[in-house]
Structure 1
Amino acid sequence: MKATRTAIPDVVVFEPKVWGDSRGFFFESYTKRVFDEAVGRDVSFMQDNHSRSVRGVLRGLHYQIRSPQGKLVRVTEGAVYDVAVDLRRSSPTFGRWVGEVLSAENKKQLWVPEGFGHGFLVLSESAEFLYKTTDYYAPEHERCVMWNDPQLGIDWLAHGFDGEPALSAKDGKGLLLKDAEVFA
């Protein structure tokens, strides 16, 4: 498994070594020892989540202000543009974001540490999205930063999607970063 730090060094892209032939393929999607070494600490996952969305759905930018969740995310069907935003006020990269196309084809995974907002836009006709979290879902602590906050300037449309994204009612009420509760 190849681990590559992004422009925000705490966010890491994982690319598995895939063995394939005419029968199909095999790869290790998670190995604790390799993962912990790459992120520089011992990480325990508490929950696995699985969602399916259609083209144009944008989910995010989500985070939990208490019981923060680190997320190891991947796509098993289709493709998404996945984004992590640093929401740690004391961080030198506060308010910056990184994005990565994750797909069933490239099999990449993205580590989004605690203290980050996370979201994705579905680029394919549909996508199945799987992720491990370091803490349990706590709806009372969930927050959302507006996906199109001009301060963040996330380029959601750079990867071939040219429509208006479909949002949940909750995501449509996201706050601007300047008004959002963030991490210390």
Structure 2
Amino acid sequence: MEIEQLGIQGVFLVTPTVFPDDRGEFLEMFSLPAFERAVGHPLGVAQVNCSASVRGTVRGLHGIALPGQARYMTCPAGAMVDIVVDTRTGSPTYGEHVAVELSAANRQALYLAEGLVHGFAPLSELATVVYLCSSTWSPGTAFQINPLDADLALPWPTDVPPVLSAKDQAAPTLREAERLGVLPTWAQCQDRYAELAALATVA
């Protein structure tokens, strides 16, 4: 298993080792020791979510107020693009994004740390997304950024009209969310990451 940090701190791409044979294939979708060595802290799994989406759907951009919710995303059926946006005010990459294709073919996973937001959209006619969450859902802690924010210019699929929930359609732009004071700061997130690093058990 290879785990590499992408262009935003706290975003990691996981590429598993796949063992094929005449019966099919086997792989580890998640390894706590490998994750902890690469990221610097363990991932406590409090909830596992599954979402199935038809082509054209755009889900996001979603975040959770600190202490937040880290997510470990996989796509066991179909293909989708997952886009992570740095919404930590004061971050050196604030407002920037990374986009990763996750699919049943590449078997990759994407980890995003607390304080970041993300969204995803199918690249196939139907895509199933399974993700590990570091905390359970709690009413009143979620916030949204409009995934079609023109200033962000995110690379969603353009060959079909986007289908959004009413909540995502009404979500503020990144600039509006900053003015509303709903975004975490870079310093607050660094404190949170330090708390998590203190829990590390793998040298």
Q: Identify the TM-score tier after normalising by the shorter chain.
A: over 0.9
CA distance in 2, matches of 1:170, 1:66: 21
The structure with the largest alpha-carbon Rg is 2
CA distance in 1, matches of 2:11, 2:66: 20
Does 2:180 match 1:183?
no
Deviations along 1:114-166, one digit per CA (max 9) or x if unpaired, are 00011001110101100001111123111110001122111213xxx412111
- Corresponding position of 1:97: 97
CA distance in 2, matches of 1:71, 1:131: 6
Deviations along 1:22-64, one digit per CA (max 9) or x if unpaired, are 2111001111010111112222121110111111111000011
CA distance in 2, matches of 1:54, 1:153: 22
CA distance in 2, matches of 1:139, 1:174: 17
- Corresponding position of 2:130: 130
- Corresponding position of 2:188: none
What are the ranges of 5 or more consecutive residues in structure 2 without an aligned counterpart? Answer: 186-203
Please state how far the C-alpha of 1:67 moved relative to its aligned partner: 4.3
Dislocated runs of 4+, deviation >2 Å = none
The letter for the 2-side match of 1:140 is: G
TM-score by length of 1: 0.94
**1:12-161 paired onto structure 2 within 5 Å:** 12-157=12-157, 161=158
Does 2:166 match 1:169?
yes
Aligned length: 181
TM-score by length of 2: 0.86
Deviations along 1:3-36, one digit per CA (max 9) or x if unpaired, are 1211113200001000012211100111101011
> Contact (CA 8 Å) 2:66, 2:184: kept in 1 or not?
no
State percent identity of aligned pairs: 36
Please state how far the C-alpha of 1:113 moved relative to its aligned partner: 0.7
- When the two chains are superposed, the root-mean-square deviation of aligned CA atoms in Å is 1.1
> Contact (CA 8 Å) 1:67, 1:135: kept in 2 or not?
no
Aligned to 1:140, what secondary structure does the other structure show? coil
CA distance in 2, matches of 1:17, 1:109: 12
> Contact (CA 8 Å) 2:73, 2:131: kept in 1 or not?
yes
Aligned to 2:140, what secondary structure does the other structure show? helix
Please state how far the C-alpha of 1:90 moved relative to its aligned partner: 2.5
